[in-house]
Structure 1
Amino acid sequence: MDVEGLKSRLAEANQEHLMKYWDQLSDSEKSQLYNELNHLDFKEINGFFKSAMEDLASASEKLDDLLEPLPKEVCGRVVNTQQEDLLQYDVDGLTEIGESRVAVLLLAGGQGTRLGVPYPKGMYNVGLPSGKTLYQLQAERLLKLQRLGEAVTGSSCKIPWYIMTSEHTKQATLDFFKKNQYFGLQEEDVVLFEQSLLPCIGFDGKIILEKPHKVALAPDGNGGLYRALHKSGVLKNMEARGIKYVHVYCVDNILVKMADPIFIGFCMSKGANCGAKVVEKAFPTEAVGVVCKVEGKYQVVEYSEITLKTAEKRDANGRLMFNAGNICNHFFTLDFLKFVSEPTQEKQLKHHVAKKKIPYVSEEDSKVTLKPDSPNGIKMEKFVFDVFHFATDRSFAVWEVIREDEFAPLKNADTADKDTPTTCRRSLLNLHHRYLLAAGAEFVDKDGNLIPHIPSQKKGEEKGSGDRQKGEDEAMFVESEISPLVSYAGEGLQKLVEGRKFTTPVHLSQDFTMDEPEIVEGEW
């Protein structure tokens, strides 16, 4: 170990405090700290901090005068697209899937802290009757989609699944997949890689020590994807496989349609190399980022950066002018990913700042790590959508989908009001109920009475009240779960259920070892 050389680098960067406990450390602790510090580029980190704090100082400036609505020519909506166009998008996307030219890339570097669990979110079971985790649901959707692609092209295909983890989630994720035999996928088609970590920094610019021999580190945000792609060799792996299109999404959306062929087909029809799937904002002040333009460049603007006056603006059709809610669901061509992942472009992406309560080593007793009561520093991160500004009007596409069909995020424990295991579970079961109704199924209660398609309100409930949905669910909630191996998005169900009456709950079950689905009703 070149200890003196490291001390010299630290002194030059004004970070020499990181070795203040050096003489108290054991040999193994010295080795750990040395390796951790020796791999850090302190000049680069100081530069990140300086620019991040400058951006933070100007963050209060409102962007209203700079915001521009999305041009109509880059946008599409599932609700007003002709059926023949939707079918064409679907065929075009499935053809690319069937030719093994599509990959999916999962952003899974975060921990389940807000859920209150000590493991990655993808391993979470929201309480579905089947007991499936988010990872299992997603794996089975890929298996089904491969079969749909093969049916179009007549040849076998693969959809490689690239999963970006962090230091905190990589091993647990790998062990989980191995334990579950990759849920029927081939091991070589599930590729894990790791995003980088950045030091947490105090407001004075000093890197924070969590322990005498350990720097406080945090993942560099889902926008760390681009640096990780460049460093990990994943882009070369994609290129070697013949991949042309990549669907990027976040792990916590239980309704996500991975490698959605309609989304892919729409983006292809626009000649886009970069695309965003969005949902319409539910109301002007909804806490969701908005895809729009800022000074001619595509961007996602956080709700907190838009004034109420601008948030409430409406177009000639009465829709919110800035209504494209970002759901972390993106389309990229491989060529675009290769371009934005090059250091020259990646370094142009600014770090966003989050003020955090960061544990730190006690000055009085170095064996104690203190947890502050208020923010004592920042974490710096980039966002996956920051590359939108590299896209042009001719290369960008925005596809609006129905929220109830495609977006139900898992963010919080059941003690919260929204985005919980319960809301996710019910969103999926409700979607599957609608699939079965559309396929011609009917539902009866235990006494044989037909259950109406639209649940009735509970007596005494006021229409439009905040508790209306909760009341309806309690009154007539219909539990219907469909294995993704039976149907990816409602297709193929008619031959199984048309004209049949089912006693709830209903489960259309299948696993990767079964040739035919099994229908279980009246019990789980």
Structure 2
Amino acid sequence: MDAFKKAGQNHLFANFDALSLDEQKHLQKQLLAIDDPQKLVSTVEQAIQYSKGAGEKSFAQLPHESTSSTIEQTKEHLDRWFDIGLEALARNEIQAEKILKVQQLAKEKYPESEPKVQWYIMTSGPTREATEKHFEKMEHFGLQSDQITFFNQGTLPCFSLDGSKILMNSRSSICESPDGNGGLYKAIIKARLLDDFHAKKIKHIHMYCVDNSLVKVADPLFLGFAIERDFSLATKAVRKRDAAESVGLIVLEEQSQRPCVIEYSEISKDLTEKPDPKDSSKLYLRAANIVNHYYSVGLLEEMLDEWTSSQEHLPFHIAKKKIPSIDLKTGEFVKPEEPNGVKLEQFIFDVFPSVNLDKFGCLEVERAEEFSPLKNNTSAANDNALTCKKHFLELGTKWVRENGGIVPEGAFVEVSGLTSYHGEHLEFVKGKEFKDGDQI
């Protein structure tokens, strides 16, 4: 309690003596998760001030040595990277099927090996139990239970608009929100996953967002790209559709000569619309971030503690929100009509500048083959369940046609992840006719 009182958070204990023993324990458990209250409050206040106006920086493309493109690369290079990735390997059902298939491909390429991909799934505290029960009910989607490890994402307190006070949603509970995808690094430490990586002799990590319906889980080509070039950290990108598309971009910060991700709002209109001097049909800054990364375990060993202990690497990003909470003046619970507080997030890619440029890679991939996120309900025009399904079916249908299958215009064929990982092993469809809704 003393640490919070020194941090100006006396209001958290205004009703403590009137709480039941269980309520007191709940509040204490929440507060014990906050390591240094005074430092946290100070950091949040600074982050709020910083968010009001950051200094200008200049940005450029990543150098040629750090990048490649599956769209423009030779088949020889792509096949070599894929094989290297298979050697290194020696949305639940869809993603599990892809893991099973990539294990099969690795076994075919290296018959003496026993490839076993480990799947680490970060859940929120409230959804952990339900997620595990679902996996058990579905018999782990064909995977062995010891291949799957669940671990929890962390939370951060919600604050008043000026950052000086932690908000409460009841007399016995503070307001919290998920700490963002940047919370992955602290979650790895808390779950002692590095020990697990060592025990299972894991050297390479492929991290992706679960909402991407086209994600290539444990992608051998991406792993091979990073391993062959000896990158410690690499990322996938899709080509920006046009200058107006509002997406984060993977770029080079010119002053520091370090890689970073910038938001659409951080670059000038002229730079946003600038064509590539080498090919005017492309934008100069076009590498759209899809939060799909490779890490060497060696990098995580070296940097996790530093990343998670410094705002330099994982700063708080501030979002003003309407947060149902106890009014700090009246003590009454309110549902505000205007923003009354801030939620904090950390972004996974904010650690990029800590990596030397020669150890960082960016692989451009085809959007239609690798990126279709589920972010909205079906009332939205894009990135909803219907568009995800459409893109998934379009890709499978494309593979069937490329292998000589006959599919009528407007019809779609579903290709299971157990049948093909990236369009391979579909020679048997040649000359066969398919109708809308067929499954392979």
Q: Which bin holds the TM-score, normalised by the shorter protein?
A: over 0.9
CA drift at 1:342 = 1.5
* Superposition CA RMSD, Å: 1.7
Distance 1:480 1:346 in 2: 49
Is the contact made by 1:277 and 1:400 (CA closer than 8 Å) also made in structure 2? Answer: yes
Q: What corresponds to 2:52 in structure 1?
A: 57
Give 1:395's aligned residue. 359
Match of 1:112 in 2: none
Q: What secondary structure does 2:434 align onto?
A: strand
* 1:403-432 alpha-carbon deviations (Å, 9 max, x no partner): 011100000000011101111010000000
User: How many angstroms apart in 2 are the aligned matches of 1:48 and 1:439?
Assistant: 57
8 A contact 2:161–2:320 mirrored in 1: no
Residues of 1 paired with 2:435 and 2:387: CA distance?
Answer: 23
- Counterpart for residue 260 of structure 2: 299
| 1:340–1:346 CA contact under 8 A, matched in 2 | no
Contact 1:161 1:189 in 2 (8 A): yes
2:324 aligned to which of 335, 359, 377: 359
Q: What's the CA shift string for 1:424-479, capped at 9, x where partnerless?
A: 01000000000100111012xxxxxxx35xxxxxxxxxxxxxxxxxxxxxxx2x22
**2:53 aligned partner, one-letter code:** S
Shift of 1:373: 1.6
**Structure 1 segments unaligned to the other structure (5+ residues):** 1-5, 99-133, 444-450, 453-475, 509-524
In the alignment, the residues of structure 2 paired with residue 363 and residue 271 of structure 1 have an alpha-carbon distance, to the nearest angstrom, of 53
Residue 155 of structure 2 is aligned with which of 192, 197, 205? 197
Residue 11 of structure 1 is aligned with which of 5, 8, 26?
A: 5
State the partner residue of 1:520. none
Pairwise mapping of residues 254-403 of structure 1 onto structure 2 (< 5 A)? Answer: 254-294=213-253, 295=255, 296-316=257-277, 317-318=279-280, 319-343=282-306, 346-347=309-310, 348-349=312-313, 350-362=315-327, 369-403=333-367
C-alpha displacement of 1:363: 6.4
- Equivalent pair of 1:280/1:325 in contact (CA under 8 Å): yes
1:505 aligns with 2:426: no
What secondary structure sits across from 2:417 in the alignment?
coil
Q: How does 1:181-260 map to 2 (within 5 A)?
A: 181-204=139-162, 205-260=164-219
- Cα distance in 1 for residues equivalent to 2:318 and 2:217: 30
Q: Match for 1:87: what amino acid?
A: D
Question: 2:16 maps to what in 1?
Answer: 22
Provide closer, same or farther for how the CA distance between residues 277 and 342 of structure 1 changes in structure 2, counting only shifts above 3 A.
same
More off after superposition, 404-413 vs 190-199: 190-199
- Corresponding letter in the other structure for 2:61: P
2:39 — aligned with what?
44
Paired AA for residue 487 in structure 1: S
Instruction: Quote the offset at 1:250 in angstroms.
Output: 0.4
Letter of the aligned partner of 1:299 in structure 2?
C
- SS of structure 1 residue aligned to 2:275: coil
Aligned with 2:77 (options 85, 88, 110): 85
In the alignment, the residues of structure 2 paired with residue 76 and residue 364 of structure 1 have an alpha-carbon distance, to the nearest angstrom, of 56
Q: Determine the structure 1 residue equivalent to 2:105.
A: 148
Whether the aligned pair in 1 keeps the contact of 2:412 and 2:435 (CA below 8 Å) is no
Partner of 1:481: 414
- 2: CA distance, partners of 1:480 / 1:276: 30
In the TM superposition, residue 503 of structure 1 has moved relative to its aligned partner by: 2.5
Alpha-carbon distance in structure 2 between the residues aligned to 1:311 and 1:168 = 41
Q: Gapped runs of 5+ residues in structure 2? A: none
CA distances 1:302-336 after superposition (whole Å, capped 9, x unpaired):
11212221100111201111100000100110011
| Cα distance change on mapping 1:159 and 1:346 into 2, 3 Å | farther
Deviation of residue 26 (structure 1)?
Answer: 2.2
Give the C-alpha shift of residue 240 in structure 1: 1.2
Q: Which of residues 120, 124, 127 is equivalent to 1:166?
A: 124
Percent of residue pairs identical: 35
The Cα of 1:369 is off from its aligned counterpart by 3.8
For residues 83 and 307 of structure 2, what CA distance do their matches in structure 1 show? Answer: 37
Q: 2:375 aligns with which of 406, 411, 416?
A: 411
TM-score if structure 2 supplies the norm length? 0.94
Counterpart of 1:491 in structure 2: which amino acid? E
Is contact 1:146-1:159 (8 Å) kept? yes
Q: Kindly indicate whether the alpha-carbon contact (under 8 Å) linking 1:226 and 1:346 is maintained by their aligned counterparts in 2.
A: no
Letter in 2 for 1:211: S
Partner deviation per Cα, 1:46-71 (whole Å, 9 max, x = no partner): 13313312321224x554xx112111
**Secondary structure, aligned partner of 2:120:** strand
Deviation, 1:391, is 1.6
